[in-house]
Amino acid sequence: MNDVGKRNWPPIFPIIYHDINVDIDEAYEKSLAKRSFNLWKMYCVTLMINLVAVIALATTRIWNSMISSIILAALYLLILPVVDFAGRHWNLYRGLRTQSSLLLRVFLVAQVIFLIFDLLLGIGWFAGGGGGIIAATECFRRKKVGAGILSLICVSSAFAQLVLNGILLIKVYKLFESKGYTLLPGGKK
C-alpha cells in the first residue's frame, strides 16, 4: 500500500503512506477524502460504543446468548475498522489521488455494503449489535433504563453514520459521473 512518500500512518506503527492534504489537489475532492477519513474514525467510535452497549445488555440478562454477543461485538471492534479503512476509505483516497475510476467503483460498492451493515447494526439484527433498536426497546420495556440509554446512544451513532455515509456516497457518485466515469467498466456515458 506504500505508493508515495514515507510510511506515516497509523502514527504509532506506520505501515502505509496517507496524507490527504499533500496527495489530493482539488479542494472538493480533498474535502470528500477528509470526510471519509472522519467517518472512518466515527465508525471506530460507534463500534466501541456498541461493545459497551452489549456489555451493559449482558448485565441485564435480557437474552441468554450475551457471552457470544460480547465476543462478536469485540470481534467487530477488532476487525471492522481495518476492513472499513481498507475497503472503503483507502479506495476513495487512492482513487481521488490517482483519478482511478476502478478504485472509485470499489469505493462505491464498499460504501453500499457498509451502509447496509450500518442499517442492520442500528436495527439490532446482528448478534453483537447490542445497541440496536430491538435491544433498546426491550431494555426500556423491562425497565433496564441504563442499558436502554446506552443502546440508544449506539443506535444514534449507527444511524448518524448511516446518514453521513449516504451523503458521502451521493457526493462521490456525482463526482464520479461528472468525470465521465460509468459504473460498469468500458461503459459509455
Select the more confidently predicted residue: 161 or 121: 161
Select the more confidently predicted residue: 14 or 187: 14
| Other residues' Cβ atoms within 10 Å of the Cβ of residue 90 | 21
95 within 8 A of 18, measured Cβ to Cβ:
no
How high does pLDDT run on average in the chain? 87
Rg of the chain (C-alpha set): 19
Please write the tens of the pLDDT for every residue from 93-127: 999 999 999 999 999 999 999 999 888 878 877 65
* Overall average pLDDT of the 38-58 stretch: 90
Our CA angle for 72, 78, 83, nearest 5°, is: 105
* Among 48-52, 61-65, 154-158, the least confident range: 61-65
In this predicted structure, what is the pLDDT of residue 130?
61
Query: Is pLDDT above 60 for 2?
Result: no
In this predicted structure, what is the pLDDT of residue 117?
84
Grid-cell match 483507502, residue found? 90
Query: Is pLDDT above 90 for 34?
Result: yes
Backbone angles phi, psi at 46, to 5 degrees: -60, -45
Please write the tens of the pLDDT for every residue from 71-98: 888 999 999 999 999 999 999 999 999 9
For the chain, the three-class secondary structure string (H helix, E strand, C coil) is: CCCCCCCCECCCCCCECCCHHHHCCCHHHHHHHHHHHHHHHHHHHHHHHHHHHHHHHHHHCCCCCHHHHHHHHHHHHHHHHHHHHHHHHHHHHHHHHHCCHHHHHHHHHHHHHHHHHHHHHHHCCCCCCCCCHHHHHHHHHCCCHHHHHHHHHHHHHHHHHHHHHHHHHHHHHHHHHHCCCCCCCCCCC
* Among 33-42, 66-75, 99-108, 178-187, the least confident range: 178-187
Q: How confident is the model at residue 1 (pLDDT cuts 50, 70, 90)?
A: very low
